């Protein structure tokens, strides 16, 4: 597809050759506005474009004043692994300046508590140490707003028990998921993701970021058999990607152990389950600088890109649909088409769950139009 053809396509959204809404769910799933802003580099002030986007979405105050806001960061993989030796914030992690600017705006909007969370790769140690290892200045982040705190959700953390999140209406893979308390003890839940490709899922945006909610203590390669292993040291490939074993028995088992073991089937379905069971209130996607070709330095052939965009939205399916379009993809593409060449389309699975609409025709894009923010990840 040429650039001209793509611009024509996204300018005339009704002409999109979309996958039909399975069971009519596409028509029924809610759509929400998505804001796009340009931001050329992390040296620029990020507060202004972020604030403008939040205003375009109706303002932060009404959403966060006096409330606990939990922000799931995207810090995938060991902080020791780098793309071209660059800080992970300019490649595959969200950037700490964006995190700081968000905290500042949340604080200004009256948030009572701002809790940044991530399931730190292969450790249950304090998230602050993981941030330090990533080259983040934790003291600056703490000073960005009152009530900032951090929690590593890779294990039990500061709580005494895990919170159980049933998938309303039944899940694709699991009926419910056991997560760290931080995902329950919150009024507002935010996914802060990176605009990236993903080796298994084609793209990783605000929804795929939620795969990182899963504690490795229960769903990791060295998870306990009966009870969680509170000192996990590995990722989640055996259980969640490949289905070679079940999670700790303390958590609900798979619905159908005879279902496909292919990661390209399992991970998108699990992600759709997760965003159904733990709804998102706000999504922020960091596309200022990123990588294309995969989600991290362990994927061969990843390359650095500089789309210079930020996105924010109020429905994860809608937000990811617009983000995928900004990356040059048809968000309703079916398996076999880019970027979902070897996997299911997570957006359509979440749409089928009724989480939101991936139909660009129904999504109100505010700020910079998609065509103006377009940055093709497949070259």
CB of 251 to other proteins, least distance (A): 25
Q: Which single residue is written with the structure tokens 């895990």?
A: 162
CB of 72 to other proteins, least distance (A): 22
CB of 118 to other proteins, least distance (A): 16
- Rounded Cα–Cα distance for residues 318 and 30 (Å): 9
297 binds other proteins (CB under 8 A): yes
217 binds other proteins (CB under 8 A): no
Cα–Cα distances (Å) from 46 to 137, 204, 308, 373, in that order, read 17, 22, 11, 17
Greatest Cα pair distance, the chain, in angstroms, is 56
80 binds other proteins (CB under 8 A): yes
Q: Which stretch binds other proteins (CB under 8 A): 117-125, 208-216, 324-332, 356-364?
A: 117-125
268 binds other proteins (CB under 8 A): no
81 binds other proteins (CB under 8 A): yes
- Binder to other proteins among 4, 62, 256, 300 (CB under 8 A)? 300
- Rounded Cα–Cα distance for residues 20 and 171 (Å): 21
| Three-state secondary-structure class, residue 286 | strand
Which is closer to other proteins, CB of 86 or CB of 108?
Answer: 86
* Helix, strand, coil percent content, the chain, rounded in steps of 5: 30, 15, 50
Q: Which stretch binds other proteins (CB under 8 A): 26-34, 131-139, 256-264, 360-368?
A: 131-139
85 binds other proteins (CB under 8 A): yes
255 binds other proteins (CB under 8 A): no
Contacts of 345 (CB under 8 A, 6+ apart): 19, 202, 268, 331, 332, 333, 334, 335, 358
Q: Which stretch binds other proteins (CB under 8 A): 13-21, 123-131, 194-202, 359-367?
A: 123-131
Among residues 246, 224, 220, the alpha carbon closest in space to that of 233 is found at: 220
Q: Which stretch binds other proteins (CB under 8 A): 134-142, 264-272, 344-352, 354-362?
A: 134-142
Among residues 149, 152, 146, the alpha carbon closest in space to that of 112 is found at: 146
143 binds other proteins (CB under 8 A): no
CA dihedral 299, 305, 311, 314 (to 10 degrees): -10
- Binder to other proteins among 30, 44, 110, 133 (CB under 8 A)? 133
304 binds other proteins (CB under 8 A): no
Binding residues vs other proteins (CB under 8 A):
78-82, 84-87, 121-122, 125, 128-129, 132-137, 139, 297-298, 300
């Amino acid at each position: 597809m040429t650039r001209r053809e793509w611009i024509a396509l996204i300018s005339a959204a009704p002409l999109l050759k979309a996958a039909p809404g399975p069971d009519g769910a596409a028509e029924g799933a809610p759509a929400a506005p998505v804001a796009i802003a340009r931001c050329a580099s992390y040296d620029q002030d990020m507060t202004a474009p972020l604030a403008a986007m939040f205003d375009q979405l109706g303002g932060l105050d009404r959403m966060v004043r006096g409330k606990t806001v939990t922000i799931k960061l995207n810090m995938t993989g060991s902080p020791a692994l780098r793309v071209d030796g660059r800080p992970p914030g300019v490649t595959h992690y969200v950037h700490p300046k964006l995190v700081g600017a968000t905290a500042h705006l949340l604080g200004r909007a009256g948030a009572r508590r701002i809790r940044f969370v991530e399931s730190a790769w292969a450790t249950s140690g304090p998230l602050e140490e993981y941030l330090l290892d990533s080259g983040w200045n934790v003291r600056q982040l703490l000073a960005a707003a009152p009530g900032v705190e951090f929690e590593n959700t890779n294990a039990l953390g500061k709580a005494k028990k895990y919170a159980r999140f049933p998938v309303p209406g039944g899940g694709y893979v699991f009926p419910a998921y056991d997560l760290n308390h931080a995902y329950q003890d919150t009024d507002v839940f935010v996914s802060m993701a990176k605009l990236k490709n993903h080796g298994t899922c084609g793209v990783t945006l605000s929804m795929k970021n939620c795969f990182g909610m899963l504690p490795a203590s229960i769903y990791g390669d060295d998870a306990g058999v009966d009870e969680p292993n509170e000192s996990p040291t590995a990722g989640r490939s055996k259980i969640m990607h490949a289905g070679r074993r079940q999670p700790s028995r303390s958590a609900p088992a798979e619905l159908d152990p005879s279902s496909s073991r292919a990661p390209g089937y399992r991970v998108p379905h699990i992600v759709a389950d997760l965003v159904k069971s733990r709804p998102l209130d706000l999504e922020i996607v960091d596309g200022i600088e990123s990588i294309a070709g995969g989600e991290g330095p362990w994927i061969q052939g990843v390359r650095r890109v500089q789309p210079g965009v930020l996105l924010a939205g109020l429905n994860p399916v809608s937000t990811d649909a617009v983000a995928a379009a900004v990356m040059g993809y048809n968000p309703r593409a079916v398996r076999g088409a880019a970027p979902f060449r070897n996997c299911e389309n997570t957006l359509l699975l979440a749409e089928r769950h009724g989480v939101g609409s991936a139909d660009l025709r129904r999504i109100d894009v505010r700020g910079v139009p998609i065509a103006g923010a377009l940055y093709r990840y497949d070259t």
